[in-house]
């Protein structure tokens, strides 16, 4: 910004400058900003209020998890996955256990697979509640966020009843899940899906979905074409909002996703509003999947009975020397995974969450590369927000659904 009164003679000298000389200026958005959804620093170049260029600086939450995992056995590495995307911890674990199972070529009991799908979908609801709620709050509404946090709280309580922890559940295991759930929990989830979830969620969404202010803030903001979505490596709700019906759960089914029935919502315009509404519909579809899981789940073991991988129960250890030895070996040395490499990607609530695992045949991963969903989405921030207003940054970020535990690792 220049003081025009002083600059008048200079302007007359320089014919290249127009009537007023306004320089672009650069502001820092974040790293500590409530709408940055974590520690994100956006170096934003503005022309007045119009965004010219955005350079996201990430890595402020880098904890070197991939390095840490190389020093841990396969079992010890699992809890780190809860800490990647701490809003949907079980979806992160899902990719990892599937990757190790693929290397081991390990069969998983059907009930274990159903439980994993059930809790992955409950995680999706939990994650979308946080994202949708914070998105509407970023663009100015308060109430839906509070109502959706009620649902999120219910989900966390369900996780606690299954695993003992509200957020960092550490519930999935290579070969199934840690322990079976009580029948009462399944009943309560089913009842919750029929009563509380549709009521609270429906109310919350009815406040914003057709709301004029909400639409003005989101419709036609940051439209992404199909070609751009593919080129920039989009996945999950981001690519579906761009109109590509791509869902790994459907295209490359893992666990029992090929046994459940669900639909894939897609957007038509590829803007922030579409991304929002795709997530809204995904919540209902997740609820559908959970209901089917509860209905179809067979009785039986939840963890593989291969004692070289799955830990024995404590009661069994009191009776059997063999079980005691297996327990000791599993929790000191762990199990050895055959040498090889796999890339396993699952449909996490935010998109394609992949684990590239290289094993050298020992009890520790040689390399464990995590493919975060946020990396490709945040990278596209620059071209998506070009030409939009400064205030649209929050809407664009909110519709991207970024969590820095996963982005920075």
Q: Which residues bind other proteins (CB under 8 A)?
A: 58-59, 62, 64, 66-68, 71, 73, 98-99, 101-108, 113, 230-233, 235, 244, 246, 248, 251-256, 258, 332-334, 340-346, 352, 354, 356, 358, 362-363, 366-367, 369, 371, 375-376, 378-380, 408-409
Neighbour-count burial of 321, counting CB atoms closer than 10 A to its CB (0-12 exposed, 13-18 middle, 19+ buried): exposed
CB of residue 407 to other proteins, shortest distance in Å: 9
**Nearest-approach distance from CB 29 to other proteins, in angstroms:** 17
User: Measured from the CB atom, is 221 or 380 closer to other proteins?
Assistant: 380
State the minimum distance, in angstroms, from the CB of residue 280 to other proteins: 24
Least distance in angstroms from the C-beta of 332 to other proteins: 5
Distances (CA, A) of 204 to 142, 183, 290, 318: 10, 30, 21, 51
Between the alpha carbon of residue 212 and those of residues 140, 206, 209, 218, the distances in Å are: 12, 12, 9, 10
Strand order in the sheet with 25-29: 25-29, 41-47, 50-57
Distances 340 to 101, 363, 398, 400 between C-alpha atoms, Å = 12, 13, 39, 34
**C-beta of 150 vs 341, nearer to other proteins:** 341
Nearer to other proteins by Cβ, of 79 and 340: the residue is 340
Q: How far is residue 353's CA from residue 365's CA, in Å, rounded to a whole number?
A: 18
- Indicate the residue among 170 and 363 with the shorter CB distance to other proteins: 363
Q: How far is CA 327 from CA 174, 315, 362, 379, in A?
A: 15, 12, 18, 45
Looking at beta carbons only, is 160 or 333 nearer to other proteins? 333
CB of 10 to other proteins, least distance (A): 34
- Closer Cβ to other proteins, 86 or 232, answer by number: 232
- Distance in Å, CB of 353 to other proteins, minimum: 11
Residue 166's CB is within 10 A of a number of other CB atoms, namely 15
Supply the DSSP symbol for 235.
-
- CA atoms within 13 A of residue 147's CA, in its CB half-sphere: 19
């Amino acid at each position: 910004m220049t003081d025009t009164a002083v600059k008048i003679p200079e302007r007359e000298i320089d014919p290249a400058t127009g009537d007023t000389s306004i320089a672009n200026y650069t502001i820092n958005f974040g790293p500590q900003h409530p709408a940055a959804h974590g520690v994100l620093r956006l170096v934003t170049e503005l022309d007045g209020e119009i965004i010219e260029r955005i350079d996201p600086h990430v890595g402020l939450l880098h904890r070197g998890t991939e390095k840490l995992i190389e020093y841990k056995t396969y079992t010890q590495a699992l809890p780190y996955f809860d800490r990647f995307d701490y809003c949907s911890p079980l979806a992160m674990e899902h990719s990892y256990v599937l990757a190790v199972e693929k290397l081991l070529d390990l069969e998983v009991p059907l009930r274990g697979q159903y439980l994993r799908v059930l809790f992955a979908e409950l995680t999706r609801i939990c994650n979308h509640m946080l994202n949708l709620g914070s998105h509407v709050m970023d663009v100015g509404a308060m109430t839906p966020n509070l109502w959706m946090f009620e649902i999120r709280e219910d989900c966390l309580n369900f996780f606690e009843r299954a695993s003992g922890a509200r957020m960092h559940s550490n519930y999935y295991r290579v070969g199934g899940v840690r322990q079976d759930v009580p029948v009462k929990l399944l009943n309560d989830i089913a009842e919750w899906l029929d009563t509380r979830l549709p009521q609270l969620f429906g109310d919350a969404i009815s406040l914003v979905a057709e709301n004029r202010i909400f639409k003005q803030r989101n419709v036609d903001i940051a439209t992404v074409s199909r070609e751009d979505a593919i080129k920039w490596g989009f996945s999950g709700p981001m690519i579906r909002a761009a109109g590509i019906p791509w869902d790994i759960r459907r295209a490359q089914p893992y666990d029992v996703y090929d046994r459940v029935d669900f639909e894939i919502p897609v957007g038509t315009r590829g803007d922030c509003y579409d991304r929002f509404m795709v997530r809204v519909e995904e919540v209902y579809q997740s609820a559908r999947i959970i209901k089917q899981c509860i209905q179809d789940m067979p009785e039986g073991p939840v963890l593989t009975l291969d004692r070289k991988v799955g830990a024995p129960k404590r009661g069994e250890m009191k009776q059997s020397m063999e079980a005691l030895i297996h327990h000791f070996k599993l929790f000191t040395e762990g199990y050895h995974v055959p040498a090889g490499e796999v890339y396993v990607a699952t449909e996490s609530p935010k998109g394609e969450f992949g684990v590239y695992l290289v094993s050298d045949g020992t009890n520790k991963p040689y390399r464990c590369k995590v493919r975060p969903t946020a990396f490709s989405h945040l990278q596209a921030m620059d071209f998506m927000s070009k030409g939009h207003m400064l205030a649209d940054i929050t809407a664009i970020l909110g519709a991207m659904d970024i969590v820095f535990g996963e982005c920075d690792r």
